[in-house]
A and B are shown apart, each in its own frame.
Chain A
Amino acid sequence: MANLTPNKEPNSFSFSDFPEDVQLCILSFLSPLELSSFASTSKPFVSLCRNDAKLWFALCDRRWGSKTQIRKWGNGKITYKQLYKALNEFENLIGFWRRSGHGKIAGLNSPPPPLVFFEWGSSFITGSRVSPSKSGTYRVVKAPFLWISIMPNSAPVSFLDPECRFELFDDLVKSGELGLLENELVPVNVSFMGKNHVVVEENLSFAYSNSNSLEGRQIGFSSVSSSGNLREMSMGWWRM
């Protein structure tokens, strides 16, 4: 019976005594798994833990807020819960990778870059080719060639520039506005094989999967075929 008597040691604070912003600050340090166990302790917390704009934003901001601009991803139209999932996966990319095998980019003689480096951008992740500079010093040249982001419908979207022509993401956006994007950049799928191997393959379904109307489909199809006689490519890197 002794166990059933009220716990005499005073609980000097209760979680619900804190204002909501403090509660959110505390919860932002938990993982989704720990949160779900916390949420099942009481009804008000279920709704707090489902609050996308507050809690899921706080979670994203705590983990990646110093590295990227959380609100800019997916044009701010995607839920933070989806964003959390996506960033949790993308995060594994950050760092150096070395080429596995030789891969191929049809129509280009050069094999994919042997050494690449992924880093955070404001609302995307950039993959850059790292190569020795031509000046004969120990300096290296970093040329971005792969952009990974997320669309407002929460689908991941990635573009590859096989020839590394863009210096900055802004250049890319500009060329997109000029309509160059479709022909010059290749939509790709970036997928993990286990934790330490990543593969990039051309996303052939990209053009028409994003247009709903029949007309859109035809345009989509034609742009794929016109863009370059079905380039084939796949390349992979191992984590260093």
Chain B
Amino acid sequence: MSSSLEKNMLILRSSDGEEFIVPEVVAVMSKAIKNMVEDECASNTIPVPNVDANILAMVIEFCKKHDESEAEAASDLKTFDSEFVNRGQEALYDLITAANFRDVKELLDALCQNVAEMIKGKSVHHIRIQFLGYQLFEILTSNFIWNIWCDRDFD
């Protein structure tokens, strides 16, 4: 099997068993995978537990783009990044977890910046509801009522 595989290509296997063939330069943008490759403990197939095929495909797409476009204009890459990270909250959460766990710094930075943009300019109770899982009724009935009173720029 390894002989049929071109040199400098690696196989990544997602948690749900799907396999992706990616160039080594792209795969090693994940520091976790890089370490495995350098320690030579990676056989031809590298399992990527905790990351399903859907998310893994996205991560690979991101890494490929960043690998190809090193010579490209930085502004193009920025546009790509901001479009790439503009996803639903669920995908965003899974992507952040994957990027953090696999240690893909560029991706993690782009995603974290996206979350930070969501926090910027929000009022305190807005942040509580959107990011801290508070429900509106909880806030209204708890002792936060005073905070809201002091900070009532309801929208």
Contact = CB atoms under 8 A, between A and B. Distances in A.
B89 A12 contact: yes
B135 to A, nearest CB: 4
A30 interface: yes
Contacts of A210: none
B90 A12 contact: yes
Interface string A23-38: 0011111100010011
A7 interface: yes
Given A11-B89, A12-B88, A40-B147, A25 B119 contact: no
Interface stretch (B7-15, B16-24, B31-39, B122-130): B122-130
Interface stretch (A13-21, A100-108, A138-146): A13-21
B74 interface: no
Interface string A77-97: 000000000000000000000
A34 B120 contact: yes
Interface residues of A, number: 28
B92 A13 contact: yes
Contact of A38 (B100, B117, B119, B136): B119
A41 interface: yes
A19 B96 CA distance: 10
B140 interface: yes
B136 A30 contact: no
B115 interface: yes
Contacts of B127: 37-38, 41
Interface string B129-144: 1111101110010000
B112 A29 contact: yes
B113 interface: yes
Contacts of B113: 29
Contacts of A25: 108-109, 112
A135 interface: no
Given A4-B137, A4-B140, A6-B136, A22 B89 contact: no
A3 interface: yes
A1 to B, nearest CB: 10
Contact of B96 (A4, A18, A27, A29): A18
A26 B147 CA distance: 24
Contacts of B115: 26
A85 B109 CA distance: 23
Contacts of B121: 34
A153 B140 CA distance: 46
B116 interface: yes
Contact of A30 (B116, B131, B133, B147): B116
A213 interface: no
A5 interface: yes
A42 interface: yes
B137 A11 contact: no
Nearest to B140: A4
B119 A13 contact: no
A79 to B, nearest CB: 23
12 contacts: A4-B136, A4-B137, A6-B135, A11-B130, A13-B93, A22-B96, A22-B112, A25-B108, A25-B109, A25-B112, A29-B113, A40-B147
Interface of A: 3-7, 11-19, 21-22, 25-30, 34, 37-38, 40-42
Interface of B: 88-90, 92-93, 96, 100, 108-109, 112-113, 115-117, 119-124, 127-133, 135-137, 140, 147
